[in-house]
Amino acid sequence: MRIYTRKGDTGTTGLLFGGDRVSKADLRTDAYGTTDEAVAALGLARAQIGTATDRTEVQLAELVVRLQRELFVVGAELATHVDRRDRLSDGVTRVTDEMVTALERDIDELEKLVEQPKEFVLPGGSTTGAALDLARTIVRRAERRCVELAAAGGLPDSHVLPYLNRLADLLFVTARAADGGFQPVRTGP
């Protein structure tokens, strides 16, 4: 099988589960293409972590891999025509409420280890943190595209929007951890 098919030369692409052809400028295509960009940005962060041996860095690398895989679930759901949503599989090609809840748990755990800034953050405190901030901004753009898609009726009964919203929050906290290290937050004098 060759990587090129020539089918996209007319400006269309095929969706999952039925292969309906849609414009490459379609809201759906733009939304899942943007999630693909976020996967790549997370790959940049993971590559920066490299072959970490520190327990915390290993955990961060494992988290990033999990998030990349979950964004493939988001992408699969977004790449499925609304009429074929019945073919989606929870946690494989459809985002679940449990996936959103897991992100909330991750945020809560990281917030115990990382004191959050009291002012705007200038990305670049570390290369890994900057890559995570880049991924966060791309996720926010994907979220905006999905808001448009949902408003057009393209995401009925979907957890994609809450997932992307929580993911961006998690990436913010994770970038701060990468910038300043994981230290227990002081709660008293």
Please measure the distance between the N-terminal and C-terminal CA atoms of the chain and give it in whole angstroms. Answer: 65
Spell out the CATH class of 23-112+124-179: mainly alpha
Report which of 141, 6, 113 is spatially closest to residue 56, judged by C-alpha positions: 113
Higher pLDDT, 167 or 81: 167
Q: Is the full-model pTM beyond 0.75?
A: yes
Q: φ, ψ for residue 122 (rounded to 5)? A: -95, 110
For 77-130, the pLDDT digits (tens) are 999 988 899 999 999 999 999 999 999 999 999 988 887 777 788 888 889 999
pLDDT of the residue at 147? 97
**Contact between 179 and 113 (Cβ < 8 Å):** no
pLDDT of the residue at 99? 98
Report which of 68, 180, 74, 178 is spatially closest to residue 133, judged by C-alpha positions: 178
Q: Indicate if the pLDDT at residue 148 is higher than 90.
A: yes
Query: According to DSSP H, which parts of the chain are helical?
Result: 27-49, 55-78, 97-113, 127-151, 160-180
Q: What is the C-alpha separation between 54 and 80, in angstroms, rounded?
A: 40
Q: What is the C-alpha separation between 87 and 97, in angstroms, rounded?
A: 18
**Contact between 31 and 146 (Cβ < 8 Å):** yes
pLDDT of the residue at 53? 65
Mean pLDDT, all residues of the chain:
89
- What's the mean pLDDT in 22-42? 92
Domain extent listing, the chain? 23-112+124-179
Look-up of token digits 């115990």: 112
